[in-house]
C-alpha cells in the first residue's frame, strides 16, 4: 500500500502543481472556469489512450516511442506555459483598457490553459492508470493498491487545493507574480525532463553527468519529490539537461520581469 501511496502521490502532485498554479493565475486574471471541463475530458481521455496503447507505443521508432511521446507531452506543456507567461503582460494591458468588468482573457489564453494543463496531466494520469490497472489489479492486489492510490491521490489533491487557495490568498497582484514565477520554474523543469528522455532514448549523447547530489537530497525522498515537481530537481543531471533548464529558466525570468514592469505601469488595474 505504501508503494501505491508514494507512486500516486508523486504523479498527482506533479499534475496538480501545474493545474492549481494555472488555475490560481487565471482566477487572478478574472478568467472563467469554463476551461476546466475540456481539460478534464482531454486529460482523462488522453491518459486512457496513452495507457492502453503503451505497449504498442513503446515498440514504435525502434523502441523509443514511449520516450518520444513523453518528450512531446513535456515540450507541449513547457512551451505552452512559456507562451502563457508571454501573454500575461498583454492581458494586464487589456484589463486596463477594457475596464474592470470585462474579462481580459482571450480565447487564445483559454486554449493555452487547456493545452498546458491537459498535456501535463496526461502523462501522470496514464502512469496512475497503468499502476492501478496493469499492475495492481492484474497482480491481484486490488485492495492495497486501490486504497493506497486513493490515499495518495487524496493527499496530492488536498495539497493542490492548499496551493491554489494559498496563491489566491496572496491577493491578485502577488498571486500573478508568484504563479508566474512557479510556472517559469515548472516549465524549465519540464523542458529539462524532456531533454532527459531524449538522452534516455539515445537521441542525445548524455556523456557528462555533472554532479550527484543524491547524498544530499535523494530524488525518491519526499523533499526530492517536491523539488522535482516544483523545480524539476534532478540529483544527477546531464549537461544537456542543465543547458536546457538554464536557458528556459532565463527566458521565463525575462518574461516575469516584463510582467512585473507591466504591473508597475498598470498597477491600479490589479490593485483591487
Give the residue among 175, 163, 158, 166 at the shortest CA–CA distance from 30.
175
Q: Which is nearer to other proteins, 122 or 244 (CB)?
A: 244
CB of 147 to other proteins, least distance (A): 5
CB of 105 to other proteins, least distance (A): 6
The residue from 88, 128, 130, 255 that contacts other proteins (CB under 8 A) is 130
Residue 239 near other proteins by CB under 8 A? no
CB of 67 to other proteins, least distance (A): 7
Calculate ∠ Cα 234-20-83, nearest 5°. 75
The residue from 41, 49, 60, 161 that contacts other proteins (CB under 8 A) is 161
Give the residue among 30, 26, 18 at the shortest CA–CA distance from 119.
18
Q: What 3-state class would DSSP assign to 134?
A: helix
Calculate ∠ Cα 133-138-139, nearest 5°. 125
Site for other proteins in 193-212 (CB under 8 A): 194-196, 198-207, 209, 212
The interface region with other proteins, picked from 92-100, 145-153, 175-183, 256-264 by CB under 8 A, is 145-153
Site for other proteins in 6-65 (CB under 8 A): 7, 27, 32, 34, 54-55, 58-59, 62-64
Q: Which is nearer to other proteins, 63 or 265 (CB)?
A: 63
The interface region with other proteins, picked from 41-49, 158-166, 177-185, 264-272 by CB under 8 A, is 158-166
Helix axes 172-200, 239-265, angle to 10 degrees: 160
Cβ 95 vs Cβ 31: under 8 Å: no
Give the whole-angstrom CA distance, residue 261 versus residue 267: 9
Q: Which is nearer to other proteins, 67 or 122 (CB)?
A: 67
| Grid cell digits, residue 262 | 507591466
* Size of the residue set binding other proteins (CB under 8 A): 83
**Distances in whole angstroms, Cα of residue 4 to Cα of each of 24, 52, 112, 155:** 29, 20, 32, 12
The interface region with other proteins, picked from 12-20, 92-100, 151-159, 258-266 by CB under 8 A, is 151-159
CB of 18 to other proteins, least distance (A): 15
Residue 143 near other proteins by CB under 8 A? yes
Residue 154 near other proteins by CB under 8 A? yes
Alpha-helix residue ranges (DSSP H) falling in the chain: 2-29, 36-52, 54-63, 65-98, 107-129, 142-169, 172-200, 222-231, 239-265, 267-271
Residue 185 near other proteins by CB under 8 A? no
Site for other proteins in 245-264 (CB under 8 A): none
Site for other proteins in 57-116 (CB under 8 A): 58-59, 62-64, 66-67, 75-76, 78-80, 82-83, 86, 103, 105-112, 115
How far is Cα of residue 99 from the mean position of the Cα atoms in its chain? 31
| Grid cell digits, residue 229 | 515537481
Amino acid at each position: 500500500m505504501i508503494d501505491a501511496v508514494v507512486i500516486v502521490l508523486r504523479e498527482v502532485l506533479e499534475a496538480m502543481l501545474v493545474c492549481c498554479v494555472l488555475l490560481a493565475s487565471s482566477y487572478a486574471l478574472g478568467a472563467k472556469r469554463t476551461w476546466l471541463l475540456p481539460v478534464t475530458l482531454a486529460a482523462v481521455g488522453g491518459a486512457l489512450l496513452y495507457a492502453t496503447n503503451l505497449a504498442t507505443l513503446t515498440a514504435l521508432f525502434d523502441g523509443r516511442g514511449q520516450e518520444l511521446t513523453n518528450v512531446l507531452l513535456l515540450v507541449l506543456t513547457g512551451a505552452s506555459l512559456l507562451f502563457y507567461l508571454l501573454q500575461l503582460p498583454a492581458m494586464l494591458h487589456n484589463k486596463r483598457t477594457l475596464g474592470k468588468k470585462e474579462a481580459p482573457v482571450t480565447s487564445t489564453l483559454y486554449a493555452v490553459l487547456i493545452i498546458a494543463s491537459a498535456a501535463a496531466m496526461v502523462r501522470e494520469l496514464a502512469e496512475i492508470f497503468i499502476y492501478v490497472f496493469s499492475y495492481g489489479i492484474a497482480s491481484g492486489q486490488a485492495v492495497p493498491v486501490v486504497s493506497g492510490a486513493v490515499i495518495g491521490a487524496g493527499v496530492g489533491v488536498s495539497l493542490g487545493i492548499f496551493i491554489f487557495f494559498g496563491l489566491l490568498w496572496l491577493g491578485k497582484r502577488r498571486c500573478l507574480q508568484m504563479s508566474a514565477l512557479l510556472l517559469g520554474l515548472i516549465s524549465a523543469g519540464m523542458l529539462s525532463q524532456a531533454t532527459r528522455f531524449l538522452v534516455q532514448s539515445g537521441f542525445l549523447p548524455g556523456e557528462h553527468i555533472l554532479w550527484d547530489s543524491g547524498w544530499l537530497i535523494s530524488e525518491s525522498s519526499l523533499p526530492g519529490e517536491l523539488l522535482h515537481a516544483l523545480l524539476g530537481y534532478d540529483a544527477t543531471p546531464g549537461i544537456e539537461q542543465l543547458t536546457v533548464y538554464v536557458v528556459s529558466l532565463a527566458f521565463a525570468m525575462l518574461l516575469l520581469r516584463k510582467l512585473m514592469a507591466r504591473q508597475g505601469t498598470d498597477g491600479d488595474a490589479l490593485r483591487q
